[in-house]
Amino acid sequence: MTPATPRLHARTGLSVTALGLGCAQMGGLYRPTSLAEAAGAFRAAWERGIRYYDTAPFYGFTRSERRLGTLLTEEPRGEYVVSTKVGRVMVPDPSVGPMEEGYADPLPFRPTFDYSHDGVLRSFEASRQRLGILAPDILYVHDIGRFTHGDHHAHHWELLTTGGGFRALTRLREEGAVRAIGLGVNEWDVIAEAIRVADLDLCMLAGRYTLLEQDSLGLMDACARRGIGIAVAGAFNSGLLVGKATFNYAEAPPAIAARAQALRAACAEEGVPLEAAALQFPLRHPAALTVVTGARNAAQVEANAAWFAAPIPDGFWARLKARGLLADAAPV
């Protein structure tokens, strides 16, 4: 499989490439990203046949959507798939400063959570304007769940379910404004809750079905049975599987760091870069449609593409299982 391999989602008819480009770095996640770097990352992805691009209003406080839209609309509309997100309405605010919520140089639009019917529609309309794309293909509900909201989760969940948020997404799909709807989250439990109450097509799950952790296997299996696709993001677990010390956007706990080291050692014995195994593992599950990786510049895109296409020896995954480094039930 190559980064450009098309992957058809039968339920919606959408075809995405096996590797997608996540565009949080276009918004300056953790450090500034120049326009030239962002354009270089996009061009490198495009030249390697990558045709799925994911963004959100939150990334750079609208900067990512603006940049990605400018780049994408230079290309034929029928040749790419783009997703964005709802759940935050961006409100003009001159007090926004550097490094707010992880973005080095955010634009002066403050994210305000709003999962209501009208909030979803307002957010979507603003995203269409920023992207310059009338009908983005996929619309995710961004960061609903206890991981983000803690004690306030019940309030936001009520707005999404009984307050009309899901109804607004369904309306947009029925009207043809988007082709697929779902969640874009960092926790699998809330997807499990959502598919019980809403007719979702495709969800983005960050960091929860990876080489490092497979606690979400039950959800993944349920999605496969129902034809709900999963776009796997965060395959490096916030950098831990690419040589950094971070996990879930913070310093990795000792037990998690030790497991990552054990994976790296096992991969080294097989002559497989840990990064290659991390990018290729998720797509072995039938629910996984694409793996989406962030990249700040062309060099990072090229590295990700090379890892994704790197050869894996026969029996490699079974040997990881035998060492206890993969869940017994994980399809390999």
Reduced to 3 states (helix: H, G, I; strand: E, B; else coil), residue 73 is: coil
Residue 279: left (phi > 0), alpha (psi -120 to 50), or beta?
A: alpha
Is 85 an active-site residue?
yes
Place of tokens 């590295």: 303
- Helix ranges (H only) for the chain are 35-47, 63-72, 117-131, 146-149, 153-161, 165-174, 188-197, 217-226, 254-270, 274-280, 298-309, 316-322
Point out the catalytic residue in the list 52, 85, 114, 115: 85
Q: How remote is the C-alpha of 31 from its chain's centroid?
A: 19
Question: How far is Cα 229 from Cα 190, in angstroms, rounded to an integer?
Answer: 15
Question: How far is Cα 245 from Cα 241, in angstroms, rounded to an integer?
Answer: 9
Q: Which residues pair with 180 in a beta bridge?
A: 138
Point out the catalytic residue in the list 53, 59, 103, 115: 59
Point out the catalytic residue in the list 54, 137, 143, 201: 54
> What b/e sequence results for 131-141 when a residue is b if at least 16 CB atoms lie within 10 Å of its CB, and e otherwise?
bebeebbbbbb
Is 59 an active-site residue?
yes
Rounded to 5 degrees, φ, ψ at 89 are -95, 130
Pairing of strands 19-22, 288-294: parallel
Q: Contact, 229 vs 289, CB < 8 A?
A: yes
Is 54 an active-site residue?
yes
Residues with active-site annotation: 54, 59, 85
